[in-house]
Amino acid sequence: MASGHRARVLIRAACLVWLAGCGKPEPVVKIGFAAPLTGDQAPQGQDMLRGAQLAIEHANSQGPILPGIRLELVALDDQRNPTQAVAVAKRLVADPDVVAVVGHLNSSCTMPASAIYHQARLLQITPVSSNPQISRQGFDTFYRTCATDDLQGPAAALFIVKELSAGRVFVLDDMTTYGRGLANELIKKLSALRVEVIGHEGITQGDKDFVPLLTKIKSLRPDLVYFAGMFPEGALLIKQRAEVGLAGYFMGGDGLFDAALIQLATPRAAEGVYLTTIGSDIHQIPTAREFVKAFETRFGSIGAYSAYTYEATSIAVWAVRQAGTKDRSAVLAAIKRLKDYPGLFGLQGFDAKGDSLIRDIGLFTVKAGKFVFLKAASWD
Amino acid sequence: MPALLEVERLTRRFGGVVALDDVTLSVEQGETVGLIGPNGAGKTTLFNCVTGVLRPDDGEVRFGRGPMESLTGLAPHDIAQCGITRTFQNVRLFSGMSVLENVLVGTYIRTHAGLISSMLPSAEARREERWAQDRAMGLLELVGLAGRSHEMAGALPFGLQRRLEIARALSSDPALLLLDEPAAGLNAAEKQALLQLIEQLKGQGLTTFLIEHDMRVVMPISDRVVVLDYGKKIAEGPPKLVQENPRVIEAYLGTSTTVNREP
Amino acid sequence: MEGFRNQTVRWAIGVIAALALPILNPNPYHLDVLTNALLYALLALGLNLIVGLAGLLHLGYAAFFAIGAYTYGLLNLHWHWPFWIGMIPAAIVAGLSGVCLGVPALRVRGDYLAIVTLGFGEIVRIAFTNLEQWTGGPNGLLGIAHPKIWIPGRGLIDFGVASMPYYYLVCITTAAVAVVCVRLSRSRIGRAWVAIREDELAASCMGVPVLQLKLLAQGCGGAIAGLAGAIFASKQGTVTPDSFDFILSVMVLAMVVLGGLGSIRGAILGALLLGSLPELLRWFEQYRMLLFGLTMIVMMRLRPQGLFGRSSQGLAPDRAHAGSA
Amino acid sequence: MTPLQLFCQQLANGLTLGAIYALIALGYTMIYGVIQLINFAHGELFMVGAYVALTLVLLSSAGPLPSGIPWWMTLLVCGLGSMAAAGMLGAAIERFAYRPIRHAPRLNALITAIGMSFFLQNALMLLYGATDRHFPNPIPLTRWEVGGVTVTLMQLVVWAASGLLMVGLQLLVMSTKLGMAMRATAQDLKACALLGIPVDRIIATTFVIGSAFAAMGGMLFGLHYGTINFHDGYLMGLKAFTAAVLGGIGNIPGAMVGGLVLGLLEGLGAGYLSSQWKNVFAFLILVVLLLFKPRGLLGERVADRA
């Protein structure tokens, strides 16, 4: 009997916590933020969060967003799980103070969540979900500040052919929406350019030992190995590639663009690695100089996604200021008027699908333990 | 009387140890047969081979009220379906189930409701369930557990667990009941009650084959006694004669000097 | 009989409260969290048949959920099957895959079964990721139709991404499945399952066809997960392989154990608690999964037999050492 | 590279990962042996070991120690330190999380272990941050070519360290009084308690040894791959569990064999088949093996759960 009683107490306690969750609303306007903040992609998500936080701090330092109303960031953890992403989206939608959402990280989360924001007429700007399919759904609430995979892949292919003259390419991806999408776009273009793709394989995120795979690749003698994925696996591939003695070029996408890549892979092994990024080098762009300084004094080194998220958040703030009200439709109407916004990566704007007009793809190489900017160009 | 169970030249080895060596015996319909022998003589192994728990290495087990069928190679549940059920030396009740549920499990082979009729309301299934409940309660009445039908089987005192196990074995209405040391661990009064129960079952025409150590239990109720030693049948016959058999006496006296011959 | 009526009343109150809730609190987020928790409850009910009743430790249950979701998704995308019809093959395919897995897997016992089922779960997930031409690979299936329902006077209504219709859909499905599970657990089949869990050898000597019933348990459990998968796919509109990872299997198992093995209301309550706990703990931000782990440890310590479990010696740890006679 | 050289190279590659798997699997199997618990938190203890080793390596390179200490000395100290730390943590977990529920149904302990795994993983994230950490490696980058097969000093260190530990464990278990008590406890915990064997202490010792082995695995893992992350324990724990089952859970030589075999299978799978199917390949082999040898490669006993 005592045990039954205890069960009931537990249930009641749970109900109390539940009720405590529904607090009184305050006079604020909120920008939602959703990304994985725990779990294996927490590093990237937390990188994004820092960018968003900085943008909000900057906005608040420029005076109240609406007369007498303070701007706030609501950061929610989607654990890179699509189910959680939908729950998070509904939570943001349900909060009348939320006027725009910045997120999510993973395309697999952005996709189902975008339908919910669309239905609630809530502006969503994803800083990093680069899968082209998302904007093809025709949602007028969806915007993104990064270029899609169908730009980066072909750009890399052109570089491989024209500048590196590599004839035999081995493509690896990390079997995520991002990695597989990027790899497929690259292969499509390479085939069109009549370059021999001698193999395409996936690796598992979180795996550490790629030596057997690289040993096999070595025996195939490729001119170039391309990896579409994130920097933790990228660093290991680069490091183990050196250990195995796999010669030839190594190239990757913007997922590798993180200072940690060189440290984790060791500068020696990373020497000469090429990678493409979306937009130019953040350190090279005069308009971004202030941001870089502010970020580095506040948080330390910049992560791969911090700048995109800062940009997305700033644009959301801009739209709210333009709208001059907490009305979501007004914010949506405002962002449609966005043109030549002076962003970090240049003059930012969106096309009819909501994709960024900045289609510059930057090209970097690693020299003496540092990313060196080679050039930026629009390749399409 | 025709034979109900025939065991022919049954052999079972465990590694190098021969637990059953060329054992031939039979149990006739309506009979109560006692199986005795020192520790490690192969008695439980014989039961396990008959009920399909173990595969014999050699030999055959046949069973049937009319024409005999071979049981060799059948799974335990098929053998139960044929009409042989058993109890276990170290009581194996479903201790997380109630007393009543334990007995109801035994009615599984006498009921037929399938998945669909179990999930959805069906008159047929309800009628069958009522029959099973009545049968189970009747058997609990018989073993004197009717008043405790909703207690957890595992919480019963040991003596009652033994009786519950018998009720469970009876619930499928077997033709042959195998009792593996039913009196082990019981006190004198419980033993007496057990004897009465077995007598009562015998009166109802049930054939029983039991392993027992306690001569005071096995002698009065057995029509016939079979003696195993080192896996071999060394004697068989009416209790009185077997008790006086010098080989049997030797086997039993011999065991007092060896500690344990369990394989 | 008194107890029976009492229980009926309690169930009725529960059902009425569940049905009235969206009217009292129409917050779509709260409803969505509850819907997810109820979907977990549906999964927990299915796993309860396998682990709770039949006693088979299954660590790859998410695979059946995935199979159901992909089955409906593919039927809908390629042949435009509506949800109400598509959920039937989803349940059947998942149930059959449970049986097919069982045929080889049930030859191994105890903890070895755990690893075989774990392997099955991983194989299914990786296969869905790799078989790109059929499953869309890591992108998954996109644009799966939401359920539509015809309401007199209002015409055909698409569930869309609203919260309330899914809440009712999952609520009613869970209630229906719970009723079926209760009936099943009190039938001869349910008793035979528990008997197998308690003592497989004794059960088989009582005439219970162990293998056949284990397969049946896998099939029924799989079918329930398949049904849940179809609902999930229709609710999300997209299906991606990363929704079906090992953590999901483990979470559902934790719900069943927390509720009390074999207890149906336990499975539901356990799922509601564990399913909504991470949302309740959002306030703690980065600390929430830490606290979640801690809660699991504390709950197991406070209520070892689960919320509604009967304490049973059959599950005691020393069981492993009891050799067969 | 001839096909044979390639094959030998892949063997060497697989053995390195396999040796680390084996070290973790040993703890899994020992703990399973004494209390029949699939200790899901074991992978997290492996990570704790890796992080403690990282802290010690960083301290020793920047700290008060005089320079000029040979690299193996540094590693020995760091290894022992992290083994001690993880061992103590393992014992504490056993004492406060598992012991109170030892007589509860076995699935409870499993759920507790899962909860513990969540707890430790997130504690590591909060303590050390979510980003991948670089693990500095004091081992020189020496490499040898043996008949066309490249072997690095790092690989030799992994093999030597894990080999020594395994031999040591085998000696401990087979020929000391403590080992005998451990084996007896694994056979029958209740009987041991009745015979006056201090069962609690034996179980705690098993946790200490198992966790220490995992910690050593963690340090070698960090050294070999150069990066560690708070969630690495999850996948490695899963793999080690698989390895333990492959060898026959509860069986110490089985865990070593299982670890090496799994490492080889993955290596050969990635090297000859396809890296995206390698986990499927490894699991399929496991399932097929269990169908023919239901108790693993070297296993003897099987326990029924639930």
Interface of D with A in 9-38 (CB under 8 A): 9-10, 13-14, 16-17
Residue A178 and residue A315 in one domain: no
Of A6, A82, A95, the CB nearest to C240: A82
Task: Decide if pLDDT at A283 tops 80.
Answer: no
**Residue A120 counted as domain residue:** yes
Verify whether the Cβ–Cβ distance D287 to C305 is below 8 Å: no
Report CB contact under 8 Å: A260, D132: yes
Check B115 against C310: CB less than 8 A apart: no
Percent with pLDDT over 70 in chain A: 92
Query: Is D65 in CB contact (< 8 Å) with chain A?
Result: no
CATH class of B1-83+174-263: alpha beta
Q: How confident is the model at residue D63 (pLDDT cuts 50, 70, 90)?
A: low
Strands A341-343 and A346-348: antiparallel
Residue A107 confidence (pLDDT): 87
Please, what's the b/e burial string for B77-89 (b: 16 or more CB within 10 A of its CB; e: otherwise)?
bebbbbbbbbbbb
- Nearest-angstrom CA–CA distance, C182 and C191: 12
Same domain for A238 and A227, yes or no, is yes
**Chain C environment of A11 (Cβ under 8 Å):** 269, 273
Indicate the number of domains in chain C. 1
Q: Do chains C and A touch (3 or more CB pairs under 8 A)?
A: yes
Residue D120, SS3?
Answer: helix
Distance, in Å, from the CA atom of A292 to the CA atom of B228, rounded to the nearest integer, reads 91
Which residue, chain included where needed, has tokens 């005998």?
D180
Structural domain that includes position A194: 150-277+362-376
Q: Is residue D291 a contact partner of residue C104, using CB atoms and an 8 Å limit? A: yes
Partner-chain contact A83 C36, CB within 8 Å: yes
Residue labelled with tokens 């903040």: A37
Chain C: closest CA distance from residue A217 (Å): 20
Mean pLDDT of A211-220: 91
Helices (H), D36-152: 42-62, 71-93, 106-128
Q: Does D112 touch chain A (CB under 8 A)?
A: no
Under the banding of pLDDT at 50, 70 and 90, the label for residue A347 is confident
pLDDT at residue number C2: 52
Size of interface A-D (CB pairs under 8 A): 99
For residue range D281-296, list pLDDT tens digits in order: 888 888 888 888 888 8
CA torsion, points B62, B65, B67, B72, in degrees to nearest 10? -20
Residue A289 lies in a domain: yes
B57-105 tens-digit pLDDT: 999 999 988 788 899 889 999 999 999 999 999 999 998 899 999 999 9
Residues of chain C with C-beta less than 8 angstroms from the C-beta of A112: 236-238
Residue-wise pLDDT for C283-310, tens only, equals 787 788 899 899 889 988 888 778 877 6
Q: Which of residues 148-187 of D touch C (CB under 8 A)?
A: 187
Identify the burial level of C127 via C-beta atoms within 10 angstroms of its C-beta, where 0-12 means exposed, 13-18 middle and 19 or more buried: middle
Same domain, residue pair A34 and A128: yes
Backbone angles phi, psi at B145, to 5 degrees: -120, 10
Residue B259: pLDDT band by 50, 70, 90 thresholds?
A: very low
CA D32/CA A130 separation, integer angstroms: 45
CA distance B33 to B36: 10
Task: Name which of D107, D89, D137, D88 is nearest D38 in CA terms.
Answer: D107
Chains B, A in contact, 3 or more Cβ pairs below 8 Å: no
Q: How many CB atoms lie within 10 A of CB B157?
A: 8
Residues of C in contact with D41 (CB under 8 A): none
Return d(Cα D254, Cα D50) in angstroms, integer. 24
Q: Check: CB of residue B53 under 8 Å from CB of residue B30.
A: no
Contact (CB<8Å) D107/C293: no
Dihedral, C176, C180, C182, C187 alpha carbons, nearest 10: 170
Place of tokens 């998942």: C94
Mean pLDDT value across residues B169-188: 92
| B191's tokens | 């033993």
Q: Provide the β-strand partners of residue A225.
A: A170, A250
Handedness of CA D177, D183, D189, D191 (dihedral sign): negative
CA neighbor of A108 nearest in space, from A140, A130, A136:
A130
β-strands A224-228, A249-252 pairing: parallel
CA distances from A149 to A228, A255, A326, A368, D288 (A): 10, 11, 34, 29, 40
Residue in chain D lying closest to A39 (CA): D231
Of C160, C237, C280, the CB nearest to A112: C237
D125 interfacial to chain C (CB closer than 8 Å):
yes
Q: Does A46 touch chain D (CB under 8 A)?
A: yes
* pLDDT at A10 > cutoff 60: no
Alpha-carbon distances of A109 from A86, A113, C127, rounded to whole Å:
8, 6, 20
Question: Which carries the bigger pLDDT value, residue D160 or residue C324?
Answer: D160
Query: Taking CB atoms and an 8 Å limit, are C109 and D302 in contact across chains?
Result: yes
> Which of these, A49, A123, A34, lies nearest to A81 by C-alpha position?
A34
Question: Which residues in chain C have their CB less than 8 angstroms from residue B42's CB?
Answer: none
Report the pLDDT averaged over residues A164-182. 90
By mean pLDDT, which of A17-31, C97-111, D17-31, D126-140 is the weakest?
A17-31
Q: ipTM of this model?
A: 0.87
Kindly identify which residue of chain C lies nearest to residue A86, measuring between CA atoms: C236
CA pseudo-torsion sign A123, A129, A134, A138: positive
Give CA angle at C214 (C208, C220), nearest 5°: 120
Question: Which amino acid type is present at position B105?
Answer: V
Of D35, D38, D291, Cβ closest to residue C108:
D291
What tokens were used for D36?
């029949």
Across the interface, whether the CB atoms of D125 and C286 are under 8 A apart is answered: yes
Across the 325 residues of chain C, what is the mean pLDDT of every consecutive 10-residue run?
A: 68 85 86 93 96 92 97 96 96 96 83 87 92 88 90 87 90 94 92 94 94 95 97 92 90 91 91 89 81 89 78 37 32
> Residue A13 — pLDDT band, cuts 50, 70, 90?
low
Q: Are residues A240 and A337 in the same domain?
A: no
Distance from CA of C310 to the nearest CA of B (A): 7
Chains B and C touch (3+ CB pairs under 8 A): yes
Compute the distance between CA of residue A161 and CA of residue A186 in angstroms, rounded to an integer: 12
**Rounded Cα–Cα distance for residues B180 and C131 (Å):** 56
Say yes or no to pLDDT of B111 above 70. Answer: yes
Give how far C231 is from chain A: nearest CA, Å: 12
Question: Residue B71 belongs to what H/E stretch?
Answer: none
Could you tell me which residue, D25 or A257, shows the higher pLDDT?
D25
pLDDT value for C325: 31
Q: Which domain holds residue C77?
A: 2-324
Sign of the Cα pseudo-torsion (B230, B235, B240, B245, in order): negative
What is the crossing angle of helices C2-24 and C28-47, to 10°? 150
The mean pLDDT value for B141-162 works out to 92
Q: How far apart are CA D228 and CA D124, in angstroms?
A: 11
Interchain contact D83–A (C-beta under 8 A): no
User: A213 vs D275: CB contact, 8 Å cut-off?
Assistant: yes
Determine how many CB atoms are found less than 10 A away from the CB of residue C89.
18
- Chain segment D182-233, per-residue pLDDT in tens: 888 888 888 888 888 899 999 999 999 999 999 999 999 999 998 999 989 9
Co-location of A235 and A123 in the same domain: no
For chain D, the domains span 12-292
> Are the CB atoms for A214 and A287 separated by under 8 Å?
no
**Residue A173 forms beta bridges with which residues?**
A202, A228
C98's tokens: 């449970």
**Domain boundaries for CATH 3.40.50.300 within chain B:** 1-83+174-263
Reported as a pLDDT band with limits 50, 70 and 90, residue B262 is: very low
D12-292, CATH topology level:
ABC transporter involved in vitamin B12 uptake, BtuC (1.10.3470)
Could you tell me which residues come within 8 angstroms of residue B216 by beta carbon, excluding any fewer than 6 positions away? Answer: B191
CATH number at residue A32: 3.40.50.2300
The reply to whether A127 falls in a domain is: yes
| Chain D adjacent subunits, 3+ CB pairs under 8 A | A, C
C-alpha closest to that of D24 among D5, D6, D47, D1: D47
Name the pLDDT band for D306 (thresholds 50, 70, 90).
very low
**CA-based nearest residue in chain C for residue B96:** C312
Query: Quick one: DSSP state of residue B121?
Result: -
- What are the pLDDT digits (tens) for A95-117? 889 999 998 998 889 988 999 99
Say if C130 is an interface residue toward chain A (CB within 8 Å): yes
Give the 3-state secondary structure of residue C109.
coil
The tokens 């056949």 sit on which residue?
A: C212
Q: pTM for the whole thing? A: 0.89
CB proximity under 8 Å: C 47-66 to A: none
The mean per-residue pLDDT over the stretch B148-157 comes to 92
Q: What residues are paired with B176 via a beta bridge?
A: B84, B207
Q: Using omega within 30 degrees of 0 as the cis cutoff, is the peptide bond preceding A104 cis? A: yes
Nearest CA in chain D to C104: D291
**Average of per-residue pLDDT across A125-136:** 89
Instruction: Inform me whether the C-beta atom of residue A255 falls under 8 Å from chain C C-beta atoms.
Output: no
Average pLDDT over residues D136-149: 85
Q: Same structural domain for residues A138 and A166?
A: no
What is the three-state SS of chain A? Answer: CHHHHHHHHHHHHHHHHHHHHCCCCCCEEEEEEEECCCCCCHHHHHHHHHHHHHHHHHHHHCCCCECCEEEEEEEEECCCCHHHHHHHHHHHHHCCCEEEEEECCCHHHHHHHHHHHHHCCCEEEECCCCCHHHHHHCCCCEEECCCCHHHHHHHHHHHHHHCCCCCEEEEEECCCHHHHHHHHHHHHHHHHCCCEEEEEEECCCCCCCCHHHHHHHHHHCCCEEEEECCHHHHHHHHHHHHHHCCCCEEEECHHHCCHHHHHHHCHHHHCCCEEEEEECCCCCCHHHHHHHHHHHHHHCCCCCCHHHHHHHHHHHHHHHHHHCCCCHHHHHHHHHCCCCEEECCEEECECCCCCECCCEEEEEEEECCEEEEEEEEECC
Contact B180 C314 (CB under 8 A): no
Residue B51 has pLDDT above 90, yes or no: yes
